Amino acid sequence: MSHNFRDQESGSNRSQGGAATDEKRLRLFVFVLIIALTPACGGKKRVRAPAPVPQQRVEIGIASWYGHPYHGRRASNGEVYDMEKYTAAHRTLPFGTRVRVRNLGNAKIVEVRIIDRGPFVDGRIVDLSRAAARAIDMLGPGTAKVRLEVLASPSTGAPDNYAVQVGAFQNRSNAERLRGAMAQAYGTASLVERPGNPRLWRVLVGREGSETDADALARRIRSENGNSVSATFVVRLDQSD
């Protein structure tokens, strides 16, 4: 009887010891799993932000073109304007933006790079080089209704700022008088020289952080000044402005 008791006691101890061993193994497994899933000490789990999706911009309006006397002179971005290259002027798109221009009259397409500012004529949205205008058969007519689509726009890293152009003058004194009046009425106004023959002095009002705010300022200027200012245009302020 005593022998059987010892055997039962011994078997019971072995059973308890096996259960304890299994529990230790389970704890060790859980500990190792936690360590494997935990970032290294002092480090933060880096979550990669999704790449920004470029916004498609499409405009429909009138295109014009320009050649002499601007051929061989500095464009607004500083490079020499060559009317036989596929470039264009736009009032608000960043320099280096690539756009596709479709002549809606004949469906011909040309791709150009924005290097200049303009056109400063009401109703027009882009000023093409002579080569670009030739590619879509608008040299003769001089203008055409087009569809402009932004293909790629560089990220400059600088904040976007916009102003309202209220006039352009060959006589700097006239431009200064208008600038002074606009500064008194709206707080901020400046002169920007446009080289050429003749040279022009552009009067720019405001410094807005978005085209929407600049549009609102343009409407205010038009409503408060009527015919005392020429056509008003929203323009991008470049680093040199």
In the chain, the amino acid numbered 73 is: R
pLDDT in tens, 151-164: 999 877 778 999 99
- pLDDT value for 39: 45
Q: What is the pTM of this model?
A: 0.73
**162-169 β-sheet, strand order:** 189-194, 200-208, 162-169, 233-236
Residue 202, beta-bridge partner list: 168, 192
Give dist(CA 239, CA 126) in Å, integer. Answer: 21
Write b or e for each residue in 94-121: b if 16 or more Cβ atoms lie within 10 A of its Cβ, otherwise e. bbebbbebbbeeeeeebebbbbbbbbbe
Angle between helices 211-225 and 172-186 (to 10 degrees): 100
Q: Which of 161, 125, 128 is nearest to 240 (CA)?
A: 161
pLDDT in tens, 28-56: 554 444 444 444 444 443 434 333 434 56
**E strand or H helix at 98:** strand 98-103
Regions of the chain with pLDDT less than 70: 1-56, 230, 241
Q: Which of 215, 151, 204, 197 is nearest to 175 (CA)?
A: 204
- pLDDT value for 36: 44
- pLDDT value for 110: 98
183: number of CA atoms within 13 Å, CB side? Answer: 11
- pLDDT value for 69: 86
How many beta carbons lie within 10 A of that of residue 29, not counting itself? 10
